[in-house]
């Protein structure tokens, strides 16, 4: 599957503003600064499709991108857990994310991004278990794998998987990724293709 012709559609501030379409969609979500926008740009062979920023919490809306020809949409969701935001701001993001996952019928699959360089964060675990309880199909994408050498990377991912296994078994599909090297691109594109096809 190739999604190099993907184009921006709209930014939705709430569930009611999402596109009225029968097309399926796959969502990308993770903690702020996990590399979500860079990953989307890598997948679509675009440098600026999703706006990247050195400032965490840059994505504040549900950003929709169309995958031709009439395949579906990619949805870039706000990052969770950015502590420097005001409580009111964080609560608004939480409400937006919760309403999307509980109410969006078009959602076919979700990719949850996990930083491969650090230990599993409680907020990541909480979100993964919450989404699993909803019964929403999902995969885990370990990001920034180019920033660790092979042995430390393997140990860290094994520890993350072990921590997850204490609460969640069997684990969902897991894909190692790097926006810099393109690692994981073919596997993610295959998962997107399968999600779109399964929802037809």
**Confidence check: pLDDT of 193 > 60:** yes
- Residue ranges covered by each domain of the chain: 7-198
Per-residue pLDDT reduced to its tens digit, 138-169: 999 999 999 999 999 999 999 999 999 999 99
How many Å apart are CA 149 and CA 99, to the nearest integer? 39
- Give Cα separations from 139 to 26, 45, 83, 108 (angstroms): 11, 21, 25, 12
Cis peptide before 33 (omega within 30 of 0): no
The domain 7-198: what is its CATH number?
Answer: 3.40.50.300
Q: Concatenated DSSP letters for 147-183? A: GS-HHHHHHHHHHHHHHHHTT-SS--EEEE--TTT-T
Per-residue pLDDT reduced to its tens digit, 172-192: 999 999 999 999 999 999 999
Banded pLDDT at 86 (limits 50, 70, 90) = low
Banded pLDDT at 82 (limits 50, 70, 90) = low
Mean pLDDT calculated for residue range 7-25: 95
Q: What is the pLDDT of residue 52?
A: 57
- 3: nearest Cα among 63, 48, 52, 69: 69
> What's this model's pTM, rounded to 2 decimal places?
0.92
């Amino acid at each position: 599957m190739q999604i190099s012709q993907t184009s921006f559609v709209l930014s939705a501030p709430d569930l009611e503003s999402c596109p009225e379409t029968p097309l399926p969609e796959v969502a990308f979500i993770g903690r702020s600064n996990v590399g979500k926008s860079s990953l989307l740009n890598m997948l679509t062979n675009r440098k600026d499709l999703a706006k990247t920023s050195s400032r965490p919490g840059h994505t504040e809306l549900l950003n929709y991108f169309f995958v031709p020809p009439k395949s579906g949409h990619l949805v870039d969701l706000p990052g969770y857990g950015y502590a420097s935001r005001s409580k009111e701001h964080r609560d608004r993001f939480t409400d937006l994310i919760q309403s999307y996952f509980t109410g969006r019928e078009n959602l076919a699959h979700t990719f949850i991004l996990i930083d491969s360089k650090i230990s599993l964060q409680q907020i990541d675990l909480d979100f993964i278990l919450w989404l699993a309880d909803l019964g929403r199909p999902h995969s885990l994408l370990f990001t920034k794998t180019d920033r660790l050498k092979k042995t430390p990377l393997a140990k860290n991912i094994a520890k993350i998987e072990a921590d997850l296994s204490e609460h969640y078994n069997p684990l969902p599909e897991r894909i190692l990724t790097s926006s810099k090297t393109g690692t994981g691109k073919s596997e993610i594109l295959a998962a997107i293709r399968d999600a779109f096809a399964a929802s037809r």
